[in-house]
Chain A
Amino acid sequence: MPSQKPNPAKKKQEELAREIAYDFLAQIHVQMEAKNMKQKDLAKALGTTEAYVSKVFSSARNLTVTSMIQWANAVELTPTVVTYENLDCVDEVDKYISPHVFRCCWEKCEKPLSMAEIEDTFSTIH
């Protein structure tokens, strides 16, 4: 039987998937605290059981794009996807940029809703 070789690219992708799941659930939790929502309230909003919600938080996995949208919507958030070019100039651990960074930048730019609004903001600055 051929031995299974470790696949470093797959391992990195799995680590990234974990990081994304953790960040997503952390954002859900922060929003729940802000809204004074308990996990049973989230379960109700999702139409599921508190045990299921607890299991997802505990394992931080099994999140599909659709379930992320459902969870975010249940706490009155809207998810989006941001990509950026690979950062080759920094250490491996620093390559992942937290969604907080993108959110903070968006808030600092007065929450533009479109590229047109960004262009307007920057044209008044220059």
Chain B
Amino acid sequence: MEYELEQKTKGKVSHHRAVFILKKRDSEQTKNKKKSDDAWIGFFNLSEKGKEEFEKRMDKWAENGTIPKQWGHSWDKDEKKGKYTDCFCFKYKKGRVHHRLYGVYINDPGEPRYRIVLLCTYDKKTQNETDFSKLDKAHKTAELPEVLKCVSEFFKSRKNKVNSKKHQRR
């Protein structure tokens, strides 16, 4: 399976943080699937309003590095024996329906100050409690060799862009 990264935060928000949704190359063919826990498909099937709300919350996280718990959160090391400290969840509630996008933090090995959240799974529910199987799946997905390769290529291309910008300034 081939993957690509779709940036959800505005490029100009921050040089330190960004949010991406993992997209399978065949997601365009399956995008109308209503019952999917795939983050890209889940996001695609949200209303325009829902998409905008999520994107604003992502932008604020990228800008500030922290957001109110109603917009999203990570997990402490004292929760679930610290298994999910590298996970992040963006939240949006419409009426009684809770929408969740789950992902993992990934730091650029070449520039540790640059961190992304890679969103992998989606959940739609009427309870506030986290279904940790969605986080487990996000973990597993982010560790797939094809995904690691895709992320690594993104970091490399980003580094080249940053270097060429520095070069232009000189």
Contact = CB atoms under 8 A, between A and B. Distances in A.
Q: Do A and B come from one complex?
A: yes
Interface of A: 15, 18-19, 22-23, 25-26, 29-30, 33, 39, 54, 57-58, 60, 93-94, 98, 100
Interface of B: 10, 12-13, 52-53, 56-57, 59-60, 63-64, 66-71, 93
Given A29-B67, A33-B66, A22 B12 contact: no
Contacts of B69: 39, 57
A98 B68 contact: no
B14 to A, nearest CB: 10
B63 to A, nearest CB: 6
Given A19-B56, A93-B10, A57 B66 contact: no
A30 B64 CA distance: 7
A94 B70 CA distance: 26
Contacts, number: 38
A15 to B, nearest CB: 8
Contact of B70 (A19, A33, A58): A58
B10 A26 contact: no
Nearest to A26: B60
10 contacts: A19-B56, A22-B56, A23-B60, A25-B68, A33-B66, A54-B70, A57-B70, A57-B71, A60-B56, A94-B12
A98 B63 contact: yes
